[in-house]
Every structure is written in structure tokens, then in C-alpha cells.
Amino acid sequence: MSERISLGRAENRIAVAKTYKLYIGGAFPRSESGRSYPVNDAKGAFLANAAQGSRKDARDAVAAARKAFGGWSGATAYNRGQVLYRVAEVLEGRREQFIAEVGAAEGVAVKKAQSLVDAAIDRWVWYAGWTDKIATVLGASNPVAGPYFSFSVPEPTGVVAVLAPQQSSLLGLVSVVAPVIASGNTAVVVASQDRPLPAITLSEVLATSDLPGGVVNILTGRTAEIAPWLASHGDVNALDPTGAPEAVRADLERSAAGTVKRVLRARTSEDFTREPDLARLRAFLESKTVWHPVGV
């Protein structure tokens, strides 16, 4: 009589505890510090371990973002729109996973989690549609009293450090990252400290879409530990402090001023479910004015 192998009941199985990595330069390295920290759901139950990024990880992320900036900012606006739309397509394909993670992270019902995930996907599409319209809407032809043409065109600022919202784990994250890269910048993102799993899954989406490595780099860990180093980094051109604790925000702005960074003045309590506008697109653009003589 052949021997039968019992697989056991599913409820007796011990789940594999995951330890997630960082996302830097299109790859998934461990933190150089070797540290990690537990991530719990809204009820305090263990979900996974996340890498606890360090200042060295932040420097590596900035270097990766700077390396990617030339190619990304030099791509056509139409191409950037195609890439962002592809991200939305991959997001749609992993919709159920995001619904489960947002629900666990934010402690909301399934229906609410579905609406937040759908809004995040639609937000990517919205910004994808703006990539080839930014120059037309935010550029200008300037009247000049002389034989010259004068026109202004918006150009990306460079490397932007983004402190993602702490409470809105996916929709808020998408709302602060998409406008940065839609306008041709590259980003170093510090994910929500207590709710990082949707950001980690988003990094997997970015890695499997057409987005070039280094355009978005995602760090997990203590925002208060990583943020000061990004704010004072000489190769970071702009700072979005949306997710910074109120107690350290003023210090971050002073550090950013020391290296002449653009700083987005974040709203005290921002509602990411409302319809987006051009404010975040405009925040990380600079105007280049060109003069050209007429008839030459």
C-alpha cells in the first residue's frame, strides 16, 4: 500500500515572515546598516519586517537619482507620459494586493481601501496625461519692446527629496511622487515609517514597469533619522517635507536653505482624496527664459 503524504490543514501552517529591502537605482539592496524593524497592521498584529535605512543608504539613493536625472529629464514629454501610464497599468494588475495592504495599514474597511487604491491608480493616469502639456500651460511667450523673441520654458529642478505622508500610505504617496517625476525630476522618497508596505509594493511595480532605474528611489525607516541628511545634502535640489514630523519641519527648512533648495510649503492637513491641481507640478520646475533676435 502506497504511503500517503499529509499536507496538513492550512490554518496550522506558519507563514513565512518577510523582510523587505530598500529600492535604490532600480535594485533591491539591504540597508548597509543591517537593521530592520517590525511593521504592524492598524490593530498591532505583525505584518513583516522593513529595512531601516541609514544616512549611507540616503547618500546612495541621491547618487542613483542624480545618475538617472540626465536621461529622464532629456526624454521626450510624450515618452515620460507613456512610462507613467505603464506604471498605472501595472498598479491595476496588482490592485487586490494593494487593497489588502492599504486596508491592513490604515485600518479601513475593504470598500474604503478599494476607493483609495482606485484613486491612486487614477492619480497616476492624471499626471501621465500632463507630461506633454506642462510646457504649453506653464511656459510663456513674453512681449518685448525690441527686435527680439523672448519666451520662457519650464525645466525640471533636479533631484527631489520627498518625505511621504505618514497616514495616507498609498494615495498620499502617489500624490507626492507622481508630479515630481512627471515634470522630469528624479526622486528619493522616504516612505511612511509605520505604514511602509504599500510603498514597498509600489517599488516592485516601478521595477517591473518601464521606469528607468534611479528615477524613483524608496527608503524605509525612521523619517526623523533620514530626513535631516537629505535636507542638507548638497546634491539634492528640492525638498517636499509633507511627511516630516511637525517638531523637525522648521529644522529641515533651515537645513535646506543652507544648500539653496526649493522647499514645498506643505499644507498642515492635506486631503489627498480631493482632485489634484498643478501646484505640485509647478513646485519643482524652474523657468528658463530665452532671447533670440528677430530676422537673424
**Is residue 3 included in any domain, yes or no?**
no
Report the number of distinct structural domains present in the chain. 1
Residue 266, domain CATH: 3.40.605.10
Closest by CA position to 231, among listed 211, 198, 258: 258
**Is residue 14 included in any domain, yes or no?**
no
How would you write the pLDDT of the chain (296 residues) with one tens digit per residue? 445 444 455 567 777 778 999 999 999 999 999 999 999 999 999 999 999 999 999 999 999 999 999 999 999 999 999 999 999 999 999 999 999 999 999 999 999 999 999 999 999 999 999 999 999 999 878 888 888 888 788 999 999 999 999 999 999 999 999 999 999 999 999 999 999 999 999 999 999 999 999 999 999 999 999 999 999 999 999 999 999 988 888 899 999 999 888 999 866 578 899 999 999 999 999 988 888 888 65
Closest by CA position to 91, among listed 180, 181, 190, 203: 203
Backbone dihedral region of 22: left (phi > 0), alpha (psi from -120 to 50 degrees) or beta? Answer: beta
**Is residue 84 included in any domain, yes or no?**
yes
Q: What are the residues whose beta carbons fall under 8 Å from the beta carbon of 153, sequence distance 6 or more?
A: 135, 139, 287, 288, 290
